Amino acid sequence: MTDDQLLRYSRHILLDEIGIEGQERILASHALVIGAGGLGSPALMYLVAAGVGQITLVDDDSVDLTNLQRQIAHTSERVGQAKVESAAQAMRAINPDPLLRPMQRRVDAQLLDMLVPAADVVLDCSDNYATRQAINAACVRHGRPLVAGAVLRFDGQITVVDQRVSGTACYACLFSPQAQFEEEACSTLGVFAPLVGVVGAVQAAEALKILIGTGRSLAGFLLMLDGRSMEWTRMQTSRDPACPVCQSAA
């Protein structure tokens, strides 16, 4: 590390669980973040601030005025700009060192099969069920750890999918890919603005722990937050022996 990096990341280096070796792992790592909206905004800001060496961010949307109530990576001046470019601009203002790869694309299985194998950790900050299932399947297929978050109204949830942790569930074990329901969107039901910040920050924390190799991740657990009462519920999960995703990849 350079002298500037030793100073920039000094508060991480002071931590016994991280130190110089852990910070060097962060600097050498590659995170794939899908979604540059409510969850992606705080997650991306913390990942770049922590010095993750390469960050690929994928989102096909553009900044809209209705986003600004909660998507803190964007500004009024950047309404109409691609979200990935707007987020990258905010990230470079925090830390110019990491290599950023913004991609204005909608993810599908083909794109995920190209991007997921190159990443050390994947963060699902998307906003629809089909995309979450596709990301989970790709991460299971390629053996990459996934940090998945979701928020709607006053409710948030986070889990980690890591096939290296024996017996733990993938996203499809918890939420069936065959489920048929009407997609609920914050555009019609609303979302409590600070809650996406809380969940997105937890996603960043889980991703950094995985990259450093410290602590215990949320693999095997579903963490749920009720924003009305600010009560956390931690539910232990296990692999579904009939899961069509992780059992077929085993």
Task: State the amino acid at position 205 in one-letter form.
Answer: A
The torsion defined by the Cα of 158, 161, 167 and 172, in degrees rounded to 10, comes to 80
Active-site amino acid positions: 186
Q: Which residue has the tokens 């194998």?
A: 117
Q: Tens of pLDDT along 57-111?
A: 999 999 999 999 999 999 999 999 999 999 999 999 999 999 999 999 999 999 9
Look at residue 92 in the predicted model and tell me its pLDDT. Answer: 98
Q: Which of 38-47, 96-105, 241-250 has the lowest mean pLDDT?
A: 241-250
207 in Cβ contact with 47 (< 8 Å):
yes
Q: Which of 75, 121, 70, 196 is nearest to 85 (CA)?
A: 75
Question: Per CATH, which fold does 3-249 belong to?
Answer: Rossmann fold (3.40.50)
Confidence band of 200 (pLDDT split at 50, 70, 90): very high
Total residue length of the chain? 250
What does 61-120 look like in DSSP terms, one character per residue? -B--GGGGGT-TT--GGGTTSBHHHHHHHHHHHH-S-SEEEEE-----HHHHHHHGGG-S
